[in-house]
Amino acid sequence: MTIEKAAEEIRSMRVRGAAKIGRHAVRALGAMPWSGDMAAFEKAAATLVAARPTAVSLPNAVEYVVKRVRAAPPAQRVETLRRVAADFDARAAKAVDEIGRHGAPLIEEGATVLTICNSQGALAPIFEAARQGRRFHVIALETRPWRQGLLTVGQLAKEGVDASLAVDSGAWSLLRETDLVLTGADSIAKNGDVVNKIGTGGLAVLARERGVPVYTCAETFKIDLKREQGEDVPIEEREVAEVVQPGEVPANVRVRNPVFDVTQHRFLKGYVTEVGVLSRETLIAEAQRAWG
């Protein structure tokens, strides 16, 4: 896999989801033919980071590798790259398992859980609760325009979890029969605001109104220490063709396709991470402890 091909797979969403794009970039770096020329390495890293703008997991994952390679003695750089890339990948895989372990107790026997988009972080507690023998129901919102909800119900059905699919605008009605909302995250700002798939922010507001707790399930490498609040995170706006076919709207009508939004921290009950279920107050310190 070349760097350009990996970047293209991320850009075109053939590889998608915050953790997966970070891991894909790191794997591409780890596998690149390289003799130790730092300029070529930094260029490859920059190409990967530029592929999608919102999920901080992408620059954070790449930075994890780049920092360690830069710090290695020149003669050990190539070996360091291979080793550190493999380390990150293993650590990220383990983090999802840990999120499952910490989050599973939130799901009680007979509960109804609602989720949006397709997040391996949000699915991890669901799969773990099912493995522990509890029976419950999961509603997946379809998630326009890419319909990642179809991926979610596919994964749920495969694991034998009772699931239903609903249109995004069904959230308000369906929250009446929901006990818990689990979402993923693309970025978490320093103040605890979460940036995730478009619709998540509104879902959290509606859940508050219905008295349903909302947890964000995310690895701590999705924390963006450079962004004070969610509104500071750049929101990707993708092509119009993902929303309408040519000719469907008059030529003088603009079509918008922002693909993420901000969930203010005050609408979140907590953060299910690989180091435990955290509050906004403990999130940053725990993450820093985890990554050094």
Applying CB under 6 A, which residues contact ligand RUB?
A: 16-20, 55, 117, 119-121, 146, 148, 184-186, 196-197, 259
In angstroms, give the least distance from the CB of 96 to ligand RUB: 8
CA separation for the pair 239, 105 (Å, rounded): 40
3-state secondary structure of 162: strand
In angstroms, give the least distance from the CB of 2 to ligand RUB: 21
Compare residues 81 and 96 and give the one whose CB is closer to ligand RUB: 96
In angstroms, give the least distance from the CB of 76 to ligand RUB: 31
Q: In 3D, which of 6, 2, 46 has the Cα closest to residue 25?
A: 6
List the strands of the sheet with 214-217, edge to edge. 162-166, 137-141, 112-116, 180-183, 214-217, 270-273, 276-278
The token pair that represents 24 in the structure block:
């894909």
| Token pair 């033919």: residue | 33
Q: Is 37 a catalytic residue?
A: no
Shortest-Cβ-distance residue relative to ligand RUB: 184
Compare residues 83 and 147 and give the one whose CB is closer to ligand RUB: 147
Q: Which of 117, 217, 224, 261 is catalytic?
A: 117
Q: Is 67 left (phi over 0), alpha (psi -120 to 50) or beta?
A: alpha
Compare residues 139 and 185 and give the one whose CB is closer to ligand RUB: 185
Compare residues 69 and 117 and give the one whose CB is closer to ligand RUB: 117
Q: Is 97 a catalytic residue?
A: no
E strand or H helix at 131, and its extent? helix 120-131
The token pair that represents 118 in the structure block:
């397709």
Compare residues 81 and 140 and give the one whose CB is closer to ligand RUB: 140
In angstroms, give the least distance from the CB of 5 to ligand RUB: 18
- DSSP code per residue over 182-210: EE--SEEETTS-EEEETTHHHHHHHHHHH
CA separation for the pair 204, 148 (Å, rounded): 18
Compare residues 30 and 201 and give the one whose CB is closer to ligand RUB: 201
In angstroms, give the least distance from the CB of 58 to ligand RUB: 10
CA separation for the pair 153, 160 (Å, rounded): 10
Q: Which of 179, 186, 217, 261 is catalytic?
A: 186
CA separation for the pair 176, 207 (Å, rounded): 9
CA separation for the pair 41, 242 (Å, rounded): 33
In angstroms, give the least distance from the CB of 38 to ligand RUB: 30
Cite the active site residues.
117, 186
